[in-house]
Amino acid sequence: MRPVVVVTGGSRGIGAHLSRGFAEAGYAVELTSRDGEGARRLADELSRQGLDAVGSALDVAEPDLVQVFVEQLLQRHAQVDVLVNNAGVIEPPAPLWEAEVDAWWGVQRANVLGPFLMSRAVVPHMLAGGGGRVINLNSGSGTRADDLQSAYHASKTALARITGGLHLAGSERGIRAFDLAPGVVRTDMTEAMPQHRGRTEWTEPADVVTLALALASGELDAWSGRMVRAGTDTVESLLAAAAAGLSEQARTIGLLPYGEDDPLA
């Protein structure tokens, strides 16, 4: 029986590369897009190539729709092995005090509420099946502040806390969770971000797919609860780092003390 992967926002950009990569690796791929048209179109294309894919409409920030999607998914498959929370958006660049409220909050709905709802709906079924893996498409943006995209950066910091929470609560029961930063893949989203205007060097999509497949396989389980980055990390370098020993804080987001006498250290 094929392992089953869910890829949200799986019809375009990085999501489409991941959907195709998982399908070619032998997974049954359940990919979603907000309107459903893109997801069904890519799923049909993959199916014509003899691969296993189903495309569905899903707004990941709507609890009832997420629940229905998962119920329908489980009618097609007995288990979900991997969840890839890829769906996400950015806001128009502006200083925080000029940001449009609905646009700012919309980023949190898609990038934070969405992965929360998807994980909340899928992980119990993973637990019932003995375990599973959640891969959250994060970003180096989550490790720092930004002057023009406070919503996006805040959302990615929050996403890392979801990853960490899944790891801490689920690791003894077979759940592994990872932050996968894709580097800077050339997509409509990244080309719209001010910090990438004029960029000439981009992360290869194949590097993202390779890391995602390694995370999904269990090969990199030592990195559960941590961030890895495509285009910089390789499977080999991550395995070597894990073998040498990872500190508790390695590749996590935390507070940097100002010195040894910092009372918050």
Catalytic annotation present for 258: no
Decide: residue 233, CB within 10 A, 0-12 exposed, 13-18 middle, 19+ buried: buried
CA 162 → CA 1, 40, 103, 141, distances in Å?
30, 29, 22, 16
Q: How far apart are CA 164 and CA 144, in angstroms?
A: 17
Three-state SS across 183-232? CCCCCHHHHCCHHHCCCCCCCCHHHHHHHHHHHHHCCCHHHCCCEEEECC
Angle, helices 101-108 vs 150-170, to 10°: value is 20
Half-sphere exposure of 55 (CA within 13 A, CB side): 24
Of 22, 104, 152, 223, the catalytic one is 152
d(CA 108, CA 52): 32
Tell me the catalytic residues. Answer: 152
